[in-house]
Amino acid sequence: MTEQYKIVVIGAGPGGISAATHAAELNISHVLLEASPKIANTIQKYQKGKHVMAEPSILPLRSPIAFEAGKREAILDEWQQGLLQNKVNIKYNAAVVNIDGEKGDYKITLADSSVIQAEFIILGIGVQGNPRKLGVTGDDADFVQYTLDNPDDHKNETIVIVGAGDAAIENAVVLASNNKVFIVNRRDEFARAKEGNLNLITAAIDKGDVECCYNTNPHSIELTPEQEKPGIFVLKTASGEIKIPVDRIIARLGAIPPRALVESFGIEFPNSDPNSIPVLSAKYESNVPGIYVIGALGGYPLIKQAMNQGYEVVEYILGNNINPADHPLLENKLEHLPFDLGVDEILSLMQTEIPVFTPLSALTFRELMLDSQVHVFEPNIEIFKKNDYTNSFYTILQGEVNIVIGDRVIKSTQGNFFGEMSLISGRRRSATVLSGESCIVIETPRRTMIKLITSVDAVKRVLDETFITRTIQAKFAPKVTIEELQPIVSKAKLNQYSANEVLFAEGDEANCLHVIRSGSVTVSKKVAGKDIPMTYVAANNVVGEMGILGNTVRSATITATVKTETISIDSDSFNDLLAKSPTLRATMELEVQKRHLENTKLESESETGDILSFLMQQGLGEATDVLLINEDTCVGCDNCETACAATHGGTSRLNRKAGPTFAHVHVPTSCRHCEDPSCMKDCPPDAIHRGGLGGEVFIDDSCIGCGNCERNCPYGVIQMEYPKEKNSSFWNWMFFNAGEQPGENKVKEGDNIKKAVKCDMCKDIDGGAACVRACPTGAANRVSPENFINVVNI
Amino acid sequence: MEQFLSYANGRYLKVSLFLSVFLSIIYVMHEPGQPKNGGTWFGYTLGTISAVLIIWLMYFGRRKRDYFSTLGTVKGWLSAHVYLGSSLLILATLHTGFQFGLNVHTLAYALMCIAIFSGFYGAWTYVYLPIKKRENLKTISAEEYYLSIEDVDRQIIKLAKDLPESLSLMINSAIERTEIGGNLLEQLSAEDKSCLIYKDELYANVDQSGCIHLLVEELSKVTEQQRAVQLKQIIDLFGRRKKSLKILRYHIKTNVLLKLWLNIHVPVSFALLAALMAHILSVFIYW
Ligand SMILES: Cc1cc2nc3c(=O)[nH]c(=O)nc-3n(C[C@H](O)[C@H](O)[C@H](O)COP(=O)(O)OP(=O)(O)OC[C@H]3O[C@@H](n4cnc5c(N)ncnc54)[C@H](O)[C@@H]3O)c2cc1C
Ligand code: HEM
Ligand code: HEM
Ligand code: SF4
Ligand code: SF4
């Protein structure tokens, strides 16, 4: 007899809990299926005692289950209570492996092969995925685990850790101090681990703290309840079987991302981008009727959002057309608009008036508008200035704007967009934009747009085409109309290069030029058989024009320093452009002459080239502003670090000693303010932004301390730190020894959480970068890659 | 990139030179009708300028730690500090009218001179030692040398495991008893106090040579090919160890030199301040 329910909720995360409880509250037959033995697996995995934040704070909570910011344990307790009180029907250890059938009659298969029938399905399985199981007989024993909560709980045990990734290594190393630890590695090296972990584990193995079984696979687990150790782990090595009596087995084999499972249910994703999210209706329904997707899996990365959706989705299933909880927020946002319309009408008006947004689903657009701002401007207000470092995206809902490029003004009208250049290249604004008559514009933050571009192909296409047109017009033919440029634009190509890929090589035939759209390149020449980099060219510049102007072969090799996108224009199109724009040849030739001169100057200095390649190897090609220290003048006083700490609440955001050195150039560990910052990618409250004139990447107060950015930054510059006390005054410290030394503030008492801190380029400090201003010898300097050459060449 | 000495094209060098020359000319020209010393109107002027300069020079210690200050950069301040500080040598000397004796006045003057000369030395270290340091380290950082030593040690220990016990003990003791750093004097001297234990006796192991010597001796005796290879590898590794250690010792020494002088410069400055106050008080009371 299979069980049968109206609503089956899959995944007892915040979204699922809220949905199931609301169903219980309404007396709807339901079950909540949870794969793990406890509720909210994602939150169970937060570090012990973590302070969970309830962002966004302006969003009201709409759920029968309570949720306020607080300790992880307290919140989980409260949820557990809420489930009990509302008599929610929950099944643990019930991982869903398959869904068949259709709306009204779904058959859900669990891992233990039992089947449950459902009319509607709410899918809230989050994005964390499930830990990959050992997959050998006996792996359901209770001494087999997939996480390590508190290493101090284990003493004098024999523990076998399976896996060769960072998690496995970290567990092995901490446990080794109090236990006998083995690590089982399928291969003969730890290839997947981070450099630091690799050193740790090799050291531990060399010292004999951890015993490593290379080229070894788990074979089976035998239970030995009568003996001292509860089990025997049988391993298959290259030379035969070995048996280890164990207290505990910890498998760290990574997680299986949920996408494949979700797709197997028939739910579609717009493209293969790993960050893309399923297409949903405004009522969270997927393309499979009757299956609804909520929470992180549906693209809503915060707890409160997930809980609200849990409530709403049950109402939608019942056919109640309630307004989403974020309705008042939108109402607020749109209040000041001169339209006499309701929120939903305004939203659909926006979608019809603005073609880039037309292809979006209503839900996606709603989400976009929640992040966006709508500005009603008086005429002639500066929306942004040339050389600003902002990177949001603007669409014109009504009226017009004036785009000022040099001495020319271009009008852009209703339905158009602007600001996409900086959005894509991560570089400074290339024009000033002023509001025109009766101007209403929508400003959308970069992260939201990037998410949109990766999930809706139609948007990407429109943006790309416009980008090409505008680039060609701005760079080569400002006086020529868009219509006239059309044939050239349609022949222009968008190219992608990975780091170190060659765009073209010295000696090749010159048949096109490239405008760098994002990323950057180095220009190098062969000197005595060796490629010597001579200069660095950032996004928004042109390369390859020398060859094509002179109709000769390439005089240098161009190599991408990081992932780079260019727009290429072939010789014929370029000749067209030259014909259309009579002054173009002269200006380009001037540019070429300047470059020739620079190149001959650099050619003699091969050390410069070596330093430049060193800087590029350090990933500085994607930097926009980086702290470099000249080792020939640094006296090691660490005043730079102290200055940073003293001006930033007691925690230095730079580590002078760390980081690589080559010749006299040292790259300390400090934020480089990347063009396309990896740290921003996965920040649940979207707390990382790119700022104004300096272009600094900074973290605002809404950080919830999840640590994602710390992990995502490839350069290890983000630290998780407790907030610290304010220091007493200098004179009190000096004369009465009161308080701490400047820059050495005490950690604040009380219940605080570690938050992410990093260099913000002293954006709030008069005078700019404190590290640079505090260096007594002028060794510390902040430089943007365009100026590397000057720094290197002292 | 410009140095602190050439900051703003030597602006403060020019200011100091001008001040010194200008005030010297007045000193030579003026005829006070009494001994030319701190008691004349010009003497008072010079004394006041010098005292103000000293207070300002000491204030540098504050400015250096006032990280929010937008008043110039620390580099600019240091440049001014160095040049205006040096000009005191002329201004204060003129103020004294070359009247020195065994009194608190001359004590103040002497302390000032020590502060200034220690400052000269410090400025020299700031300019030359970083370059020396870098030349010593070649292209990589000190951290990397430490890491490479750790790495070499691991390899040595692994290789030494199946050597005869007396040798492997000796090798382990050589690694364990390698000394680097130590107290201030040891850091400064960069002397190698490493030693090793061989057959229960303690031997010096300067530059790892004791250890290498014993290993070479052993090598000449072995007949087995594999053992010979193993010993050669260990000897090579000790050779690398020796190089890195030497570089690091020099590195540590230079770092100490870069800081040590401030331990004279600053206390002497405070002593000078005290003596100066005594001097000024005494001239007002007793003159
Ligand atoms: C370290 C960290 C810190 C964070 N801190 C905060 C914070 O302070 N504040 C905040 O608002 N957000 C925070 N977040 C984000 C927050 O955790 C998520 O947004 C939220 O958990 C998403 O809820 P969900 O219901 O969509 O999915 P999840 O919470 O991920 O829950 C999914 C559940 O489904 C179960 N499941 C998975 N697959 C199956 C299956 N096949 N069958 C049955 N069950 C299955 C899982 O075991 C899990 O219990 C943080 C995230 C991380 C990683
Ligand atoms: C406000 C600042 C100062 C005042 C008012 C002052 C005042 C005087 C006076 C009045 C004299 C005259 C003594 C005489 O006639 O013999 C004198 C001498 C002297 N001053 Fe100053 N002085 C000042 C600053 C300094 C400073 C900065 C120094 C050096 C560090 C200094 C060192 C001397 C010395 C060495 C003498 C000579 C003492 C002697 O005659 O034996 N004075 N000072
Ligand atoms: C009477 C004269 C002087 C006084 C009272 C004086 C005082 C000081 C003080 C208080 C400091 C701060 C040290 C610290 O807080 O770390 C300092 C630093 C320094 N002084 Fe002087 N000084 C004098 C002259 C000079 C001269 C003549 C020179 C060089 C030619 C000099 C070179 C330096 C240098 C290089 C520093 C170190 C700066 C740093 O590390 O930030 N000083 N001095
Ligand atoms: S924190 Fe890291 S990823 Fe983010 S901008 Fe700085 S260096 Fe780049
Ligand atoms: S402040 Fe300047 S001299 Fe001092 S450690 Fe930093 S870079 Fe080196």
Identify the residue with better confidence: A728 or B247. Answer: B247
3-state secondary structure A594-643: HHHHHHHHHHCCHHHHHHHHHHHHCCHHHECCEEEEECCCCCCCCHHHHH
Do B44 and B104 lie in one domain? The reply is yes
Does A203 sit within 8 Å of B1, measured CB to CB? Answer: no
Closest CA to A130 of A286, A259, A304: A259
Tell me the ipTM for this assembly. 0.90
> CB-CB: which of B70, B74, B154 is closest to A639?
B74
Identify the residue with better confidence: B61 or A406. Answer: B61
User: Of the segments A136-150, A309-323, A514-528, B178-192, which one has the largest average pLDDT value?
Assistant: A309-323
Count contacts between A and B (CB, < 8 Å): 103
Tokens, residue B37? 């010393």
Do A163 and A83 lie in one domain? The reply is no
3-class secondary-structure state, position A792: helix
Q: Give how many domains chain A has, as a whole number.
A: 5
**According to the model, what pLDDT value does residue A106 have?**
95
Q: Mention every residue, 6+ apart, whose C-beta is less than 8 A from residue A82.
A: A17, A21, A64, A65, A66
Closest ligand to residue A636's CA: 5
Does A634 sit within 8 Å of B143, measured CB to CB? Answer: no
- Ligand 1-lining residues (CB < 6 angstroms): A 10-16, 33-36, 40-43, 46, 52-53, 55, 95-96, 124-126, 128, 130, 258, 261, 295-297, 301-304, 306, 684, 704, 706-707
Residues comprising chain B, all counted: 287
Chain A nearest-CA residue for B154 = A206
Do A717 and A636 lie in one domain? The reply is yes
Query: Which of chain A's residues have a Cβ under 8 Å away from the Cβ of B73?
Result: 772-775, 778
Do B133 and B157 lie in one domain? The reply is no
| A498 belongs to a structural domain | yes
Residue B281, burial from CB neighbour count under 10 angstroms (0-12, 13-18, 19+): exposed
**According to the model, what pLDDT value does residue A139 have?**
84
Residue B63 Cβ < 6 Å to ligand 3: no
Query: Which of chain A's residues have a Cβ under 8 Å away from the Cβ of B62?
Result: 730, 734
pLDDT average, residue stretch A286-302: 91
A693 pLDDT tier (thresholds 50, 70, 90): low
Which of the listed residues A562, A625, A626, A671 should we mutate to test ligand 4's pocket, taking the one with most ligand atoms within 8 A of CB?
Answer: A671
* CA A25, chain centre distance (Å): 38
Q: Which atom of ligand 2 is nearest to the CA of B275?
A: 30
Helix ranges (H only) for B97-208 are: 104-137, 142-160, 165-176, 184-189
Report the sign of the C-alpha dihedral through residues A548, A552, A554, A555, in that order.
negative
Q: Mention every residue, 6+ apart, whose C-beta is less than 8 A from residue B52.
A: none
**According to the model, what pLDDT value does residue B1 have?**
46
Does B73 sit within 8 Å of A642, measured CB to CB? Answer: no
Which of the listed residues A713, A720, A761, A763 should we mutate to test ligand 4's pocket, taking the one with most ligand atoms within 8 A of CB?
Answer: A713
Per DSSP, the residues of A94-130 read --EEEEEEETTEEEEEETTS-EEEEEEEEE---SS-E
Provide the chain A residues 186-225 that lie in CB contact (below 8 A) with chain B.
Answer: 199, 202-203, 206-207
Do B6 and B77 lie in one domain? The reply is yes
Interatomic CA distance for residues A88 and A403, integer angstroms: 58
User: Of the segments A207-211, A215-219, A287-291, A683-687, which one has the largest average pLDDT value?
Assistant: A287-291
Cα B12-B13-B17 angle, rounded to 5 deg? 115
pLDDT average, residue stretch A245-259: 86
CATH number at residue A171: 3.50.50.60
First to last CA, chain B: 52
Interatomic CA distance for residues A465 and B199, integer angstroms: 81
Q: To the nearest whole number, what is the mean pLDDT of chain A?
A: 87
3-class secondary-structure state, position A172: helix
Cα B57 to middle of ligand 3, angstroms: 7
Residue A637 Cβ < 6 Å to ligand 3: yes
Q: How far does A464 lie from chain B, in Å, by closest CA? A: 41
Half-sphere exposure of A386 (CA within 13 A, CB side): 9
Do B272 and B152 lie in one domain? The reply is no
A195 pLDDT tier (thresholds 50, 70, 90): low
Asked if A238 and A215 touch (Cβ cutoff 8 Å), the reply is yes
**According to the model, what pLDDT value does residue A602 have?**
60
Asked if B105 and B78 touch (Cβ cutoff 8 Å), the reply is no
Which bin fits A750, alpha (ψ -120 to 50), beta or left (φ > 0)?
A: left
Does A663 sit within 8 Å of B141, measured CB to CB? Answer: no
Interatomic CA distance for residues B96 and B35, integer angstroms: 10
Does A794 sit within 8 Å of B1, measured CB to CB? Answer: yes
CB contact B131 to A (< 8 Å): yes
Which bin fits A777, alpha (ψ -120 to 50), beta or left (φ > 0)?
A: alpha
Interatomic CA distance for residues A393 and A450, integer angstroms: 10
Do A202 and A246 lie in one domain? The reply is yes
Alpha-carbon distance values, B141 to A663, A666, A669, B135, B155 (Å): 10, 9, 13, 11, 21
Query: Which of chain A's residues have a Cβ under 8 Å away from the Cβ of B77?
Result: 776
Q: How far does B137 lie from chain A, in Å, by closest CA? A: 10
pLDDT average, residue stretch A558-566: 90
Q: Which atom of ligand 1 is nearest to the CA of A14?
A: 25
Query: Which of chain B's residues have a Cβ under 8 Å away from the Cβ of A775?
Result: 73-75
Does A662 sit within 8 Å of B74, measured CB to CB? Answer: no
* Strands, E assignment, A163-302: 180-184, 210-213, 217-223, 231-237, 240-246, 248-251, 255-256, 291-293
If residue A71 lies in a helix (H) or strand (E), which one and from where to where? strand A70-71
Could you tell me the residue range of the domain that residue A578 belongs to? Answer: 484-604
Does A765 sit within 8 Å of B68, measured CB to CB? Answer: yes
Q: Which atom of ligand 1 is nearest to the CA of A51?
A: 8
Asked if A118 and A7 touch (Cβ cutoff 8 Å), the reply is yes
Do A770 and A632 lie in one domain? The reply is yes
Provide the chain A residues 696-755 that lie in CB contact (below 8 A) with chain B.
Answer: 730, 734, 742-743
Does B67 sit within 8 Å of A642, measured CB to CB? Answer: yes
pLDDT average, residue stretch A523-550: 82
Interatomic CA distance for residues A209 and A190, integer angstroms: 17
Half-sphere exposure of A106 (CA within 13 A, CB side): 26
**According to the model, what pLDDT value does residue A580 have?**
84
Asked if A136 and A220 touch (Cβ cutoff 8 Å), the reply is yes
Q: Which atom of ligand 4 is nearest to the CA of A688?
A: 4
Q: Which atom of ligand 5 is nearest to the CA of B74?
A: 1
- Asked whether residue A519 carries a pLDDT value surpassing 70, the answer given is yes
Closest ligand to residue A562's CA: 4
Q: Mention every residue, 6+ apart, whose C-beta is less than 8 A from residue A584.
A: A476, A477, A577, A578
Do B10 and B130 lie in one domain? The reply is yes
Which bin fits A297, alpha (ψ -120 to 50), beta or left (φ > 0)?
A: alpha
Asked if A719 and A710 touch (Cβ cutoff 8 Å), the reply is yes
B87 pLDDT tier (thresholds 50, 70, 90): very high
| A443 belongs to a structural domain | yes
* Cα radius of gyration (chain A): 30
Cα B263 to middle of ligand 1, angstroms: 57
**According to the model, what pLDDT value does residue A485 have?**
86
Which bin fits A277, alpha (ψ -120 to 50), beta or left (φ > 0)?
A: beta
User: For residue range B158-200, what is the model confidence (pLDDT) as tens digits?
Assistant: 888 888 888 999 999 999 999 888 888 889 888 888 999 998 8
> CB-CB: which of B74, B142, B259 is closest to A775?
B74
Do B126 and B213 lie in one domain? The reply is no
User: For residue range B21-67, what is the model confidence (pLDDT) as tens digits?
Assistant: 999 999 999 888 888 888 889 999 999 999 999 999 999 999 999 99
Asked if B13 and B83 touch (Cβ cutoff 8 Å), the reply is yes
Do B126 and B167 lie in one domain? The reply is no
Half-sphere exposure of A302 (CA within 13 A, CB side): 23
Do A119 and A246 lie in one domain? The reply is no
Q: Global pTM?
A: 0.74
3-class secondary-structure state, position A58: coil
pLDDT average, residue stretch A134-157: 85
Closest ligand to residue A17's CA: 1
Cα A696-A702-A705 angle, rounded to 5 deg? 95
User: For residue range A604-647, what is the model confidence (pLDDT) as tens digits?
Assistant: 566 777 888 888 888 888 888 999 999 999 999 999 999 999 99
Do A245 and A267 lie in one domain? The reply is no
User: For residue range B129-151, what is the model confidence (pLDDT) as tens digits?
Assistant: 999 999 999 878 888 888 889 88
Closest ligand to residue A698's CA: 4
Lowest mean pLDDT among A346-350, A731-735, B107-111, B216-220: A731-735
Residue A756 Cβ < 6 Å to ligand 4: no
Tokens, residue B40? 């004349």
Chain B nearest-CA residue for A643 = B67
3-state secondary structure A693-736: CCCCEEECCCCCCCCHHHHHCCCCCCEEECCECCCCCHHHHHHH
- Asked whether residue A729 carries a pLDDT value surpassing 90, the answer given is no
Chain B nearest-CA residue for A633 = B130
**According to the model, what pLDDT value does residue A604 have?**
53
Do A368 and A501 lie in one domain? The reply is no
Do B158 and B101 lie in one domain? The reply is no
Residue A715 Cβ < 6 Å to ligand 4: yes
**According to the model, what pLDDT value does residue A576 have?**
87
Q: Which atom of ligand 2 is nearest to the CA of B287?
A: 10
Protein residue with least CA distance to atom 2, ligand 1: A706
Q: How far does B160 lie from chain A, in Å, by closest CA? A: 13
CB contact A662 to B (< 8 Å): yes
Do A436 and A550 lie in one domain? The reply is no
Lowest mean pLDDT among A113-117, A532-536, B235-239: A532-536
Cα A779 to middle of ligand 5, angstroms: 6
Query: Which of chain A's residues have a Cβ under 8 Å away from the Cβ of B70?
Result: 766-767
Percentage of chain A exceeding pLDDT 70: 97
Query: Which of chain B's residues have a Cβ under 8 Å away from the Cβ of A206?
Result: 154, 157-158
* Cα radius of gyration (chain B): 29
Could you tell me the residue range of the domain that residue B10 belongs to? Answer: 2-137+261-285
Do B111 and B17 lie in one domain? The reply is yes
Do A83 and A212 lie in one domain? The reply is no
CATH number at residue A375: 2.60.120.10
Q: Which residues pair with A781 in a beta bridge?
A: A628
**According to the model, what pLDDT value does residue A354 have?**
92
CB contact A775 to B (< 8 Å): yes
Do B82 and B194 lie in one domain? The reply is no
User: For residue range A743-756, what is the model confidence (pLDDT) as tens digits?
Assistant: 888 888 877 888 99
Do B132 and B268 lie in one domain? The reply is yes
Interatomic CA distance for residues B94 and B47, integer angstroms: 9
Cα A95 to middle of ligand 4, angstroms: 37
| A338 belongs to a structural domain | no
Q: Give how many domains chain B has, as a whole number.
A: 2
Do A665 and A772 lie in one domain? The reply is yes
**According to the model, what pLDDT value does residue A624 have?**
86
Do A495 and A385 lie in one domain? The reply is no
A758 pLDDT tier (thresholds 50, 70, 90): very high
Do B128 and B267 lie in one domain? The reply is yes
Do A262 and A248 lie in one domain? The reply is no
If residue A164 lies in a helix (H) or strand (E), which one and from where to where? none
